[in-house]
Each structure stands twice: as structure tokens, then as C-alpha cells.
A and B are shown apart, each in its own frame.
Chain A
Amino acid sequence: MATFQLELVSPEKLLLSRAVEMAVLPAAEGEMGVLPGHAPMIVTLRGGVIAVTENGQVTERLYVAGGFAEVTPERCTVLADEATPVGQLSKAAAEARMRDAEAAYAAAAMETPEKRDASMARLLSARAMVQAAEAA
């Protein structure tokens, strides 16, 4: 099957750079499957899991806390704020982050809508992390 180049970079390192068949990205407005020849796009990502398909099977699942992706017909670059393979997620750490995010969201109730949205996004990202850690 045709492949395209998937690159996953976090500020601290280059995590992944290889040819894959399909990648499912947690885009801000819903999951988005990327196949070779996809229309050029720039999307923001919410917290969630990137699933990588090679040879007809999901070979890699990585949790990202948020970020951006640039898609062109022959390439897909994901700029993740933070990325961890799902297998290495710690449930305790995820739950701790979830609690922090909940507290921050509660504290932000009186703030401006932008700030509330930002902490809501963090809360959702933490929830996705807990779910990913549970599924692993």
C-alpha cells in the first residue's frame, strides 16, 4: 500500500520519522485520518492518541497533550506539546494531572472566557491521558 512520511516532533526531541500507511490524529474538531495524498491542511490537536498504521495494522499508539499538525499530500508533520507512547503512560501520573486540571478549571470559573477555555482544554487533554493509560 502507498505510504507517506510521518514526523512526530516534541520540543525536546524528534520522536518518529518514517513512512506509514495511515495516521489517525486527534484534531481539535474530531478525529482525522490521514492517508497518502491528503489535501494540504494545518490543524490544531487536542489531547488524545495518535494511531499509526503500517502493513494494515496499528503498530504504534502515542498520546499527545496537544499541538499542531501540518499535512501535505506526501508528508505529515505533528508538532506535539508532549508525546509519550501509550504503553509508557502511568495511570497514577495521568490521574494526578487530571486532578490538577480539575482544580485549575474550578479556580478559573470567574476568569475571562479565554482563560476558561484554555483550562477546559487542559482538563480534556488530561482526561484523554487517563483514558489512554487505562486502555493500555
Chain B
Amino acid sequence: MASLKALRARITSVKSTRKITQAMKMVAAAKLRRAQSQAEAARPYAERMERMLASLGASVAGSPDAPKLLVGSGADQVHLLVVVTGDRGLAGAFNTNVGRFARSRIRELEAAGKTVKVLAVGRKGAAYLKRDYGSRITAEISLAGKKRVEFVDAQEIAARITAMLEAGEYDVCTLIYNRFRSVISQVPTAQQMIPAVVPEGSATEAATGAQALYEYEPNEEEILATLLPQNLAIQVYRAMLENAAGFFGSQMTAMDNATRNAGEMINKLTLNYNRTRQANITRELIEIISGAEAV
């Protein structure tokens, strides 16, 4: 049985661990709230952008010189996966879930004879994929140290994706991220960005109604040329926001569990400590009594 001193040391150490996990939980909860409100604030723009794109896209998609960002390069050979993960750990299975999802996706695509390239946003995703698919990672973007997700960062990533398309480095671009369903549930999701997916219902409606209705200034092509990169940036931005919210949600749950486990551990250790102490006292008493009897 461990000595009293060793037990005391362990109890203190678990207690300070509990303090840390508890503090991390509080911090995650506060950051989660901020991330959620930020995600909410970004929604109106994304919705209106989608509506505009639906009416524009339907009128241009048919023409042969439609922009590449909308229709892709026509081929389906090289796939670019943009994998969005957190930059830090200690968030349960959050990063692993996206990583695993991305990995099975890569395996599927490669089994079908496609070439896969990976653009990793967030340090953890790159670290996860590096072991098996290190050669597919073309770039790694880390936003560690940033207080909040900013639109400028999303724009930069989108510019990179666009530049790669123009250089003919891939044909299809898919965004992989953790969709934030609730604080305790995040779902790894794949969303195709290039060729753009025009929402079904509104597309047919726009094709019949809006196309004839709207006037465009300067003209459809030029508007699309600025609207599409912006739309790409918005999609990346949204994924980053959902990722941030999901990360903090997951971290909160993980830290809550850790705090609870630490509490249980402390109870167990304390019980053990008291038993050992009692056993020691009893033993000492027996020694004294038997000593006195011998005299």
C-alpha cells in the first residue's frame, strides 16, 4: 500500500488538475457563446448571397463561357479537399472526427483512381493526415493565436483556392469541416464548393422568374466574376465559424468530463488515504498495548 505521503501528493496533484480543467471549461463556455453569436451574425449575409447567386447562376450556367468557379474545369480527376480543424487539442474527439472523415474520403477517391490534394486549415488536421497522406498536403494554414475568426483570413484562403484553380491544379474542390449541430454534437460534413452547387428549388424558380426580371449592371459575367470569389470566401468563413463554435463546444464537454473524472479520482484517493491512516493508527495502538502488557 502506498505511503501516506505519496497519497497526499497525488491528491494535491489531482486537485490542481481539476482546477485547471474547470477553468478551461469556463473559458470554453465563454468563447463558445462568442463564437455562436458571431456565426449568427454572419448568417444574413450568407443567405442573401445565396439568393443572389441562385438567380444569377441559373441564367449563366448554360452558356459555354461560364466562369470556372461556377462550373469547374469540366474534368473530375484532381480533387482538392479543404480540411478545416481546430488549432489546439484538448477538445475530445473533435479534431479526430474530421480527420477520420477526411481520411476515409481520401481513401474512397483514390480507390476510384482520382488524385487527391489537401489544403489543411488548422494545425490539428494537418498533423492527423500527415502520417498516412503527408504527400497529398499541398499547404497548411494555421490560425493559432488569433482571438477570433476574421473574414479577412477566410478571404485569403479563398484567394488561394481560386489561384490554384486558375493554375489548373485541381478540378473539384470540397470543403470538409465539423458542422455545429449543438454543443454536444458536431457532425463532420463535406460540402462541394467548385463547381458551385446552386440550391435546387430556387434555381428552377429563378430560371423561370428572376432571369427575365432582373437587370444587371454592368452585366451578368462581370457581376459573377466578383460575386463568385466572394461566395467562396463566405463558405470558407462559415466553415471556420462553425468549426470554432464546434471546437469550443467540444472542448467544454471534454473539460466537463475531465473535471468530473478528477472529482471521482479525488474521492477514491481520499478514501484510500483515510483507510491507510486508520490502519496506521490501529497498528501503532496494538504496538503500544502489547508493549505495555509485556512489562
Contact = CB atoms under 8 A, between A and B. Distances in A.
Answer yes or no: do A and B interact.
yes
A1 to B, nearest CB: 24
Interface in A22-47: 27-29, 39-44
Contacts of A29: 217-218
Interface string B227-250: 100100110010000000000000
Nearest to B237: A11
Interface residues of A, number: 22
B33 to A, nearest CB: 16
Nearest to B210: A40
A40 to B, nearest CB: 5
A88 to B, nearest CB: 18
B151 A11 contact: yes
B294 to A, nearest CB: 86
Contacts of B213: 40
B141 interface: no
Nearest to A45: B226
Q: Is the interface of B mostly helix, strand, loop or mixed?
A: helix
A43 B251 CA distance: 43
Contacts of B151: 11-12
Contacts of A110: none
B217 A27 contact: yes
A77 B48 contact: yes
A18 interface: no
Contacts of B230: 68, 79, 81
Contacts of A43: 216-217, 223
Nearest to B233: A11
A89 B52 CA distance: 29
A42 B215 CA distance: 6
B242 to A, nearest CB: 14
B218 A28 contact: yes
Contacts of B55: 42
Contacts of A77: 48
Given A11-B42, A11-B234, A42-B55, A79 B217 contact: no
Given A27-B217, A42-B214, A9 B44 contact: yes
A14 B38 CA distance: 11
A40 B56 CA distance: 13
B48 A41 contact: no
B217 A14 contact: no
A10 interface: yes
B214 A68 contact: no
Most buried by A among B42, B45, B210, B213: B45
A13 B41 contact: yes
Contact of A42 (B42, B52, B233, B237): B52
Most buried by B among A11, A40, A41: A11
Interface in A71-92: 77, 79, 81
A70 interface: yes
B108 interface: no
B226 A42 contact: no
Nearest to A78: B48
B156 interface: no
A12 B42 contact: yes
B214 A40 contact: yes
B222 interface: yes
A77 B45 CA distance: 10
A112 B216 CA distance: 26
Given A14-B41, A43-B217, A81-B230, A68 B52 contact: yes
B56 A44 contact: no
B49 interface: yes
Interface of B: 38, 41-42, 44-45, 48-49, 51-52, 55-56, 151, 154, 210, 213-218, 222-223, 226-227, 230, 233-234, 237
18 contacts: A11-B42, A11-B234, A12-B151, A13-B44, A14-B44, A29-B218, A39-B215, A40-B210, A41-B216, A42-B217, A43-B223, A44-B222, A66-B226, A68-B230, A70-B51, A79-B45, A79-B49, A81-B230
